[in-house]
């Protein structure tokens, strides 16, 4: 609980309509997509970098936990105010400061929605490549916090690859600028890439210089349906061995296909147990040849049917609806976004099936197969104690499998609170100690998103 003196000081920094203390008003900022609840003592809504600085400086002085927050779409608990204190909502920092097509740059504040950036860039023939499934309602700040990716990361990379520089407030209250306005620049340490993916534990980002990419002239879509996962995994390797990288390569297993059939009964072959959704982009003259090459790479003994899609919009809508549909199977999903090398996908998917069968846990898998990023969903009922224990044991073995295959525990969702107990599997003690030292330099009193990332 904040003291009356602190509340009074916050009231001097922000007007009453941008400062909540009523528990009812604060409730909406107590949860994210994990559906866990940690109510903050207060919520503040700065609209300028100077207001962010003033709030951070106050929290630093009085050692008040401060949890930066975008739109709360995260799945790893990164924006949960676990220790109470203040939730710093950046959702009202909505300015696109600069649109500079000549230099392929947009400068935006953290509350700007991903789709808004796309809409601002499109008239000039550009786009910003990060495209998480929540792009219509997730903020740029949230995308930066976890280095969000999406289906097109296979060709274009993740958020970290498309940011030139940042403006941010350290835990001490100091304002820093990182990076530069140009695509080349090696003056000093690369603090931009350090802050991206740090989940608000090092600094509060207040402005981002985003690097734009020209829109492709044309697109081509393909689907391929398989009798089994092994054949589908083999096709993924063949497609990724082609000279030209597809712009998207999505994998769906039998459980995911079942969910789509429940919404779109006639869309998929009845005997398909795995599926690939593939997109290519580029010049008009390239699309037809690229589609033919991909179709050829998809052919193997397990292929049921493969074809070009004249309009893939319905299919993409179905793919993006998968996550909420998972609760049709069970009330809770344990959602992980592990990544393994593409060459390890056949072994990973095969062992994943064995693990879910051994622990008797419903499991649905889909994701960005082109870069080995599979969204593993263990579907459970929290009211069944034995089932939860089995799910936890299964998850632990899945993470061990990922590390054994030279993978990583998170590709784009971040660590937050959901994965922090497991990161010792991936990060050795000396490296983790160095990371904690870096945290102390940026945030000496540990006020920024305390307790996240580290066990």
pLDDT value of residue 122: 98
Q: Can you name the CATH fold of 324-411?
A: Alpha-Beta Plaits (3.30.70)
Q: What is the CATH number of domain 96-214?
A: 3.30.465.10
pLDDT value of residue 320: 73
Residues 59/83, Cβ–Cβ less than 8 Å: no
The residues near 120 (Cβ < 8 Å, ≥ 6 apart) are 96, 99, 106
The residues near 320 (Cβ < 8 Å, ≥ 6 apart) are 133
One fold for 96-214 and 218-322: no
Nearest to 376 by CA among 409, 336, 424: 336
The answer to pTM > 0.85 is yes
Write the pLDDT tens digit of every residue in 225-271. Answer: 999 999 999 999 999 999 999 999 999 999 999 988 888 888 889 99
Cα(277)–Cα(275) distance, rounded to whole angstroms?
7
pLDDT value of residue 417: 96
Domain positions in the chain are 96-214, 218-322, 324-411
pLDDT value of residue 11: 93
Write the pLDDT tens digit of every residue in 415-436. Answer: 999 999 999 999 999 999 999 9
Residues 303/235, Cβ–Cβ less than 8 Å: yes
Band of pLDDT at residue 319, cut at 50, 70 and 90: confident
Write the pLDDT tens digit of every residue in 85-130. Answer: 999 999 999 999 999 999 999 999 999 999 999 999 999 999 999 9
Band of pLDDT at residue 138, cut at 50, 70 and 90: very high
Q: What is the CATH number of domain 218-322?
A: 3.30.70.2190
HEC sequence for 396-417: HHHHHHHHHCCCECCCCCCCCC
Residue 179 has a CB neighbour count (10 Å cut-off) of 20
Beta bridge partners of 168: 176, 205
Largest Cα separation within the chain, whole Å, is 72
Write the pLDDT tens digit of every residue in 293-311. Answer: 999 999 999 999 999 987 6
Band of pLDDT at residue 312, cut at 50, 70 and 90: low
Tokens of 126: 């550009």
Residue 85 has a CB neighbour count (10 Å cut-off) of 21
Residues 261/267, Cβ–Cβ less than 8 Å: yes
């Amino acid at each position: 609980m904040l003291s009356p003196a602190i509340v009074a000081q916050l009231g001097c920094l922000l007007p009453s309509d941008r400062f909540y203390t009523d528990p009812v008003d604060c409730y909406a900022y107590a949860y994210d997509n994990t559906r866990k609840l940690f109510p903050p003592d207060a919520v503040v809504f700065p609209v300028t970098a100077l207001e962010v600085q003033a709030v951070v400086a106050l929290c630093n002085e009085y050692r008040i936990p401060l949890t930066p927050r975008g739109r709360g779409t995260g799945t790893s608990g990164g924006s949960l105010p676990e220790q109470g204190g203040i939730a710093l909502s950046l959702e009202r920092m909505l300015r696109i400061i600069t649109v500079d097509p000549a230099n392929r740059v947009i400068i935006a504040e953290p509350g700007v929605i991903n789709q808004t950036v796309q809409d601002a860039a499109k008239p000039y023939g550009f786009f910003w490549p990060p495209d998480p499934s929540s792009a219509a309602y997730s903020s740029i700040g949230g995308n930066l916090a976890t280095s969000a990716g999406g289906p097109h990361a296979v060709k274009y990379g993740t958020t970290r690859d498309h940011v030139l520089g940042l403006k941010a407030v350290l835990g001490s209250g100091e304002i820093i600028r990182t990076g530069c306005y140009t695509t080349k620049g090696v003056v000093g340490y690369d603090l931009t890439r350090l802050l991206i993916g740090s989940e608000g534990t090092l600094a509060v980002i207040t402005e981002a210089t985003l690097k734009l990419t020209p829109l492709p002239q044309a697109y081509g879509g393909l689907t391929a349906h398989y009798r089994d996962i092994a054949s589908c995994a083999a096709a993924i390797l063949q497609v990724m061995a082609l000279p030209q990288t597809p712009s998207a390569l999505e994998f769906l297993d039998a459980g995911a296909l079942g969910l789509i059939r429940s919404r779109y009964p006639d869309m998929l072959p009845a005997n398909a147990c795995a599926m690939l959704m593939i997109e290519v982009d580029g010049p008009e003259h390239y699309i037809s040849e690229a589609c033919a090459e991909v179709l050829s790479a998809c052919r193997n003994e397990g292929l049921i049917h493969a074809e070009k899609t004249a309009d893939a919009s319905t299919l993409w809508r179905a793919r993006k609806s998968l996550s909420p549909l998972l609760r049709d199977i069970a009330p809770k999903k344990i959602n992980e976004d592990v990544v393994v090398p593409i060459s390890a996908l056949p072994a990973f998917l095969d062992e994943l099936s064995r693990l879910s069968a051994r622990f008797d846990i419903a499991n649905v898998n889909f994701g960005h197969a082109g870069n080995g990023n599979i969204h593993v969903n263990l579907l459970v009922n929290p009211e069944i104690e034995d089932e939860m224990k089995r799910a936890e044991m299964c998850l632990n073995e899945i993470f061990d499998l990922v590390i054994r295959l030279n993978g990583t525990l998170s590709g784009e969702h971040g660590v937050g609170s959901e994965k922090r107990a497991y990161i010792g599997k991936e990060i050795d003690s000396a490296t983790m100690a160095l990371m904690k030292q870096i945290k102390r330099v940026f945030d000496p009193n540990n006020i920024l998103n305390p307790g996240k990332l580290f066990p």
